Amino acid sequence: MRVAVIGGGPGGLCAAALLKRLAPDRVVTLWERNAPDDTFGFGVVLSDETLGGIETADPDVHAALGAESVRWDAIDIVHRGRTLTCGGHGFAALGRHRLLEILHARCRELGVDLRFSTEAPPAAELARSHDLVIAADGVHSTTRDAHRDHFRPTLITHRCRYIWLSADFALDAFRFEIAETEHGIMQLHAYPYAAPSAGGPHPAAGASTVIVEMREEVWRRAGLDRCDEAASVERCGAYFAGFLKGRPLRANRSAWTAFRTVVNARWSHGNTVLLGDAAHTAHFSIGSGTKLAVEDAVALAARLQDGAPVDGALTAYEAERRPVVESTQRAARASLEWFENLAVHTGRPPYRFAFDLLTRSRRVTHDNLRLRDPEFVASVEDEAGIPPGTPPMFTPFRLRGLTLRNRVVVSPMDMYSAVDGTPGDFHLVHLGARALGGAALVMTEMVCVSPRGRITPGCTGMYAPEHETAWRRVTDFVHTQAPGTAIGIQLGHSGRKGSTRRQWEGIDQPLPHGNWPLVAPSALPYRPGVNQIPHALTTAEMTGIREQFTLSAAAAARAGFDLLELHCAHGYLLSGFLSPLTNRRTDAYGGTLAARLRYPLEVFDAVRAVWPADRPMTVRISATDWADGGTTAEDAVAVARAFAAHGADALDVSTGQVVPDEQPAYGRSYQTPFADRIRHEAGVPVIAVGAISSWDDVNSLILAGRTDLCALARPHLYDPHWTLHAAAEQGYEGTPAPWPAPYRAGSRRPPTGRGA
């Protein structure tokens, strides 16, 4: 078997060595355009998981790495002159130059043909003369670009500039430091890679990698865009002089760059496969691209060792690695965006800022940190005013005259089970069961203000006397049988997304018969050629719909609801006014954001006027349309400020569902950064939603200060008693999580078996 490797970075070298070790008769040739002593950057972080994989694949390389690596377990966070330390993490690093030397030696020992200072032939040419071509040619991969129609890469350039530098001393912790300068916020990421007397440019002192990063506009305001390498080093040293204590920073062909996230639809093309940064990148703030590349090499070698043909092995390799990489990239994106928006977070108290930083990627959580460093987490909770022994999710929260006993909300979920808008026994059992389950607030589905405002024939309404009577039956049950639980109503109008089948019959598909006419801000169908073209509302018709909202709100107050939420999200009528993708009006209700806000604010004001003054009112918004030209995160902050100025007590921050061609960045708690930003920039309480699935997530989000309340949907479908079970699993028995008297015997997990 003839193998060609393009690129002599750690991933390519590791792949070459492993393939040769596993089958000595393979002919493995590696091309690297740089000389063997050329390298960029300084230290490389490798996780215990990565080292474990290397140990299994090549114990000799693992032993060499272990002898050279420096290890530590603490993270120092420096914020406004105060250093907070959190332990128990576990890191290992070594110099990139030394890593390459180890891999060079191993490749030579095994008989790999290393061709340095030599450009590799094009991958297509190599593919004709070799059984396998491994393209480990980096983030600017020429192989990927030459076959971009097949690999279908997506490259996203992000908002920060950063530079890799080094310091001639070894830190004893991973260090994050913030500098609030006249130009804006700058951040430093630093970690040791050579222990004192064990390597580095000055062996007696050791060495550390230092990365300085800041937003593009800060970089330009500081004049760093006009600095050469030497001037950049000098300026960075001045910004972080307290950290350096008179010691210099060093460069190694260091240049300011913007991080690029690389994603490929495919990783292989015939017998050519992408590896490492050529296939994918993940921001350095959660680890090392070298880590991913080495793990790729280990997985690829293992799949080829299985005896499968090359094409089958490459398919298996991608199937194994892609889910891991995508998960890492989601975490890296969350971390990257946290640092991009660092100004949102810096005003927090020191321990909560540190906790927020440590949990930014959503991989490290409250429970995880409590295991690693219980004293640190206790300090965070004490600073936040959380009583000892109380999980953050079981602290109260007040909205106007309503005090919620904990931070859990049952999110609105359409059930499509009403008859002519009237909720029945299903709704009584559905909402009643969740009210008994311990959540502080249970929300109805979107309750429609008119027959034509329904999404489907199965949607509930509040536009007829029988609706008010039926809803009163539900609220009475909640208040009587689950005292202390609040119940809220969400009022809305479907707009252009109405007159469709129930979700399980075909989501967003028109009814087979009996369709009713639709209205919207503009005559734009939701799906052209599928959904009907709505009628563009006249101002007189808008006045009529506004009155429908007020009549429904007054009925909801009489029916006993504790909170009212106005639905201005997900592409329904009021959301349709807010988004520039769905509002093309040329009158006073279209054009600028202020104009697009006008009608939703008019409806809000009319509803607030009839809703009891002591009862809170919230607004659900889509904080982004996930589509070019749509609502942006900046727009969402402005929308939140506007509603707060008109008396909204909280913003329920969702995203998307406005246009069918959206491209959401799904992932764990993926919508919470939008809530976080609104909470801190608009200064209004928020409800976070979106793939929040565990009580650990809720504790983490509340304690970090990213949200005030967490709304969960699917978890409450899976388990109506989700909140009570969360309390039981944490050993918490306080009053914010009361078991109903008839259920107390079940407040402990049943035994799964009997002892002998």
Q: Where are the beta strands (DSSP E) in 500-614?
A: 519-520, 535-536, 563-568
Contact indicator for 604, 611 with CB cutoff of 8 Å: no
Contact indicator for 274, 132 with CB cutoff of 8 Å: no
User: CB 632: neighbour CB atoms within 10 A?
Assistant: 14
Contact indicator for 123, 145 with CB cutoff of 8 Å: no
Q: Where are the beta strands (DSSP E) in 361-518?
A: 397-399, 402-404, 408-410, 441-448, 486-492
Q: What value, to the nearest 5°, has the Cα angle with vertex 47 and ends 280 and 54?
A: 85
DSSP three-state, residue 176: strand
Which tokens belong to 100? 């390459």
Per the annotation, the verdict on 572 as an active-site residue is: yes
Phi, psi of 295 (to 5 degrees): -65, -35
Which tokens belong to 529? 């050629």
- Give the span between the Cα atoms of 162 and 220, in whole angstroms: 12
Which is the catalytic residue, given 317, 416, 572, 589?
572
For 525, residues 6+ apart whose C-beta sits below 8 A from its C-beta are 496, 531, 532, 533, 534
Strand partners, 345: none
Nearest CA to 560 out of 736, 675, 442 is that of 442
- Give the span between the Cα atoms of 748 and 20, in whole angstroms: 56
Q: Where are the beta strands (DSSP E) in 569-676?
A: 617-622, 650-654
Which whole-number Å values give the CA distances from 251 to 209, 212, 229, 254, 514, in the listed order? 10, 12, 7, 5, 71
The long-range contacts involving 230-238, CB below 8 angstroms and separated by at least 24 positions, are 232/163, 232/256, 233/165, 236/163, 236/165, 236/210, 236/212
Which whole-number Å values give the CA distances from 180 to 6, 176, 184, 186, 655, in the listed order? 43, 13, 6, 6, 31
Which whole-number Å values give the CA distances from 32 to 61, 278, 296, 420, in the listed order? 21, 15, 19, 71
Q: Torsion over CA of 272, 276, 280 and 281, rounded to 10 degrees?
A: -160
Give catalytic residue positions: 572
